[in-house]
Structure 1
Amino acid sequence: MAVLQWDAVSAQLLGEMVATVLPEYALTTLVLCGAVAVGVGLLGAATACAVTLFAFPGRRVLEWALLLPLAMPAYVVAYAYTDFLQFSGPAQTAIRSVLSLQGRVLPEVRSLGGAALVFIFTLYPYVYLLARAALNQRAAHLMEAARLLGASQRRRIVSVALPLARPAIVAGIALALMETLADYGVSSYFGIQTFTAGIYKAWLALDSRIAAAQLATMLLLVVAGLLQLERHARRRLRFASSRGQRQSSAEARPIVLQGGRAWLVQGLCVLPVLLGFVLPVLCMLRPLLLAWGQPDAPLPWVGFLYWSFNSFKLAAITAVLATALALALAFALRRRPNRLNRGVVQIAGMGYAIPGAVVVVGLLIPVGWLQGQYPQWGVGSWISTTVLGITWAYLVRFSAVALQTVQSGYSQLPASLDDTARTLGVGGWGLWWRIHRPLLQRSTIVAALLVFVDVMKELPATLVLRPFDHDTLAVVAYQLARDERLGEAALPALALVLVGLIPVVLLSRALNSKS
């Protein structure tokens, strides 16, 4: 309601934000997104070209290892590097000891530049995945044709490979920017005034729902623009790769690198894996192992089990509901591909692009209005004391993940199956139960797993909408890190990383089966 409200109060508040905090929010968000776009674009495209176009030692391992940073929530990486690089951390302590220096010897990681690096090393796999898929289709064949026409290796890469992967790179950058805009953990922990942090500050600290709604609307408009850019790039990507061929011929094999070039390309691919996965995991393990070696330092095992139970419960409920909703929508669209069903599926598919902060504002504002108008209904208590509100927010955000997976499974089922079943007298929901359900079993399981993992890692919506005494692993890790109790935050953070490995394994298996 407040999003559409426009009166003297909201106009005055917007004017005050324009004169005070809005320029800072806009500039910080713009600089952060610009740095992330350049970083993930360069790193993702370079690693995709390296493993696709060249052969060097360790290439087969690095093909899937480059996906590992996908398992790392960005806020977990922020906690790890803060503990490792802070003034009293092991990195600066070791440097001061070895070089006999005093004071700070490394830049402050909790800064805008530090946040940009965290996002770059955790989000570049979006560009890597899409660019690698695009290059696998036709790049080697076209580069071989260019070689036969006398083009140098550098020109083949610049004039053939990169233009071919350009739509994929743009789509990956758009996805990375949507994740950056949706983040709350890194920006809040590093003290960066982005739009998402501003929304929560306006709602929780200033107690102004109008300001939160106006900021959320501005952020939603930016995300909508990125979503259109990503869809346009994907359409171009499908057109470019629709007639792709497998790299099966000897002429299309990757270029074999030797000597210094091989080591250089290998180092290029190893660096993001080290900085985006290996080093953060080691940084989180260090305080955990130190606490383990001290008998007087209690490990929060009882609390950890309770937080894990809450996380698993919310994730399991949402995974079941989101997958069921995705199956129903996909089946309805397959049976009747009319304008109404297409519109409903398209709206449901937009949810993942909406930041959690916007979902929270969009849910709480009408709930607050209903509570004020009809207090006897007790709508506010339903949302705040039960899992109804948080489950609804999860479904808005993550039903799109299940829907895309189920639709991908449906794309493998020829329409002739439906026609044959109807001639045998099987129709309606019987068609889904007897024909589609067994064939979609793998896609259904994958969809549920992906939603489960996303819910486990979700922080912004969970932080506000979780019921009382329903802390999750993500919320506890954030709160402990915010209180500078990074040693205690290591255990829930590492649990989130282990859960995040599930989609990485699925992606790796899918890519290997297609290669």
Structure 2
Amino acid sequence: MAALLCLPLVSVAASLLQPSSPSWADTAATVMPRYVFNSILLGVIVGIGVSVVGTVCAWLVVMYRFAGRPILEVLLALPLAMPAYVMAYALAHTLQYSGPVQSELREAFGWGPQDYWFPNVRSVPGAAMMLIFTLYPYVYLLARASFIEQSVCALEVGRSLGRGPVRLFWDVALPLARPAILAGAGLAVMETLADYGTVDYLGVQTFTTGIYRAYFSLGDAVAAAQLASALVGLVAFVAIALRVFGGRSLPRQATARYRPLPTISLGFGGSLVAIAICLLPPVLGFAAPVTILISLAVDGSDVFDAQLLTHAINSFGLALGASSLAVLIALGFAYARRITRSRLAALAASLATFNYAVPGSVIAIGLIVPFAWADARLAALFGDERFLLLSGSIAGLVFLYIARFFAAAHGAARTSLARVTYSMDWAARSLGATPLRAVMRVHLPVMGPSLLTGVLIVFLDVMKELPGTLILRPFNFDTLAIATYHLASDERISELAAPALAIVAAGLLPLAVMMHAIARGRAGSPSDEQD
């Protein structure tokens, strides 16, 4: 199974051995430098932006007491439910030259086209803004957990040496939280490199837009695979840099007894500043796009039609099926590793999870050739040239989703199985329970919540997945993400409001589980105290 999940990367790597096509030579000579420059620039801006926004907000809600802090620390996670391309559709429509904001400004002040300056949202900085305010929760959640788990002793030593709040943050807390911050920033950068919907709509040429141009416009699968190989190389560079510069994990509490973090009460002015800083990211990354989409949906006509229901059924069916299968397969890997305790099982699991760092477009391109080869063999076996089991099929899409998001499912499976101790197994066997009965009566009740969380996380990822679905989907089969993309491409913005809101609404369910955990794990809360 691990070999099958690694098949896309092997296929993409094999494309480097094939002779270059004329379209590849033309791409390398003309637009390749632009792809490289824009992709790197976008990744750098997003990496810095999410690090600053996520870290500052996490530090404020952990270390300071001000009005509304418990609510804000939960609201800061809301943009996880907002796909960046949906935010781009909503805000670009509102902020572009023909949008309502600039139109109202020109009408109010009598300005002409050359009489004022307004930021160009259809640019690299505009795309970076969309990605920063939808991806910063990766850093926020990890940095928040890191600050909560930091050793109180280290902070107290810093204060005893005369460090004020700013110096304490800069000299003590920030270096200790560096691994968590870099991990979150790395995830955001990889999501940025994998993004297609945002950069395509805003007219920013990156590797992902180049892959689609080579495959759909030029009809050259080899050139697309070679571009995908270059993108994999860039992703691998980011992953290696994170390992090198990530550092070691932070020190924990030095004593067995829980000691809540010392917090600082802010005055009226400081509270206003802290509220404004913590409120801006969720407003821009969630509230503003949702408000715009709701307004468009209300103003539009016939947006809730039969096609929307069909797209929703397609999306929910794919997401539920792929997430359930991914968790079941991941559970098999976890049990194999637990039972055999072999390095081979651990290595297989590690290889299978590497795809999470690879863009969906790369995995889809890597599956085209193996799927075509397998379908050709099956067609010859059954004597029907029209036999297509994998290429352009639901089965192919499900395999894509499992390969792409297997890491999330495997993490949930390993975490849940780790809660089942060997003493539980021994107790069940001593009571005469068979292995199957022990799994049903002991393991599953303990593992259930974590497994459900894994299903919900993969479900959310599949609902939002756009690039891979565009390449491998069957003909005349659209999901909510595909329908939103096509409507945005046709500039039918009012019509895309309903499917876009449906995607966001679907993302709120797993996010609600996460937000409940955030609320329970609040710094200094009584539920966290240990005797």
Question: Corresponding residue for 1:212?
Answer: 224
Structure 1 residues 458 and 444: CA distance shift in structure 2, 3 A: same
Structure 1 gap segments, 5+ residues each: 292-296
Pairing of 1:23-422 with structure 2 (within 5 A): 23-103=33-113, 105-138=117-150, 141-230=153-242, 236-237=248-249, 239-241=250-252, 248-249=259-260, 252-291=261-300, 297-370=301-374, 376=380, 381-384=388-391, 386-422=393-429
Aligned identity (percent) is 39
**Any conservation in 2 of the 1:349–1:399 contact (CA below 8 Å)?**
yes
- Of 483, 494, 498 in structure 2, the residue corresponding to residue 487 of structure 1 is 494
1:270 maps to amino acid: L
Structure number with greater CO (CA < 8 Å, separation at least 6) is 2
How far off its partner does 1:433 sit?
A: 2.9
How far off its partner does 1:491 sit?
A: 0.4
Q: How many residues align?
A: 507
Structure 1 residues 246 and 270: CA distance shift in structure 2, 3 A: farther
Secondary structure of 2:251's partner? helix
Question: Corresponding residue for 1:294?
Answer: none
Measure the CA separation in 2 of the matches of 1:445 and 1:368. 34
How far off its partner does 1:248 sit?
A: 3.7
**Any conservation in 1 of the 2:23–2:220 contact (CA below 8 Å)?**
no
Secondary structure of 1:9's partner? coil
Measure the CA separation in 2 of the matches of 1:236 and 1:6. 36
Structure 1 residues 199 and 151: CA distance shift in structure 2, 3 A: same
Structure 1 residues 213 and 236: CA distance shift in structure 2, 3 A: same
Measure the CA separation in 1 of the matches of 2:134 and 2:49. 11
Measure the CA separation in 2 of the matches of 1:448 and 1:497. 17
2:317 maps to amino acid: K
Measure the CA separation in 2 of the matches of 1:380 and 1:189. 36
Structure 1 residues 246 and 95: CA distance shift in structure 2, 3 A: farther
Runs of 4+ in 1 over 6 A off after TM superposition: 232-235, 244-247
Deviations 1:409-454 (A, max 9, x none): 1222223222333444546444433321221111222221221121
Structure 2 gap segments, 5+ residues each: 1-10, 523-531
How far off its partner does 1:376 sit?
A: 2.5
Secondary structure of 1:4's partner? helix
CA RMSD of aligned residues (A): 2.4
More displaced 10-residue stretch of structure 1: 478-487 or 330-339: 330-339
Measure the CA separation in 1 of the matches of 2:509 and 2:458. 11
**Any conservation in 2 of the 1:139–1:161 contact (CA below 8 Å)?**
no
Structure 1 residues 180 and 258: CA distance shift in structure 2, 3 A: same
Deviations 1:360-419 (A, max 9, x none): 111002223455677535587223453111011011012221111121112222232223
The normalised TM-score by structure 1 is 0.92
2:94 maps to amino acid: F
Measure the CA separation in 1 of the matches of 2:18 and 2:348. 36
1:240 maps to amino acid: P
More displaced 10-residue stretch of structure 1: 239-248 or 186-195: 239-248
Structure 1 residues 354 and 427: CA distance shift in structure 2, 3 A: farther
Deviations 1:225-268 (A, max 9, x none): 3334456677723x53476878645xx33111113222222211
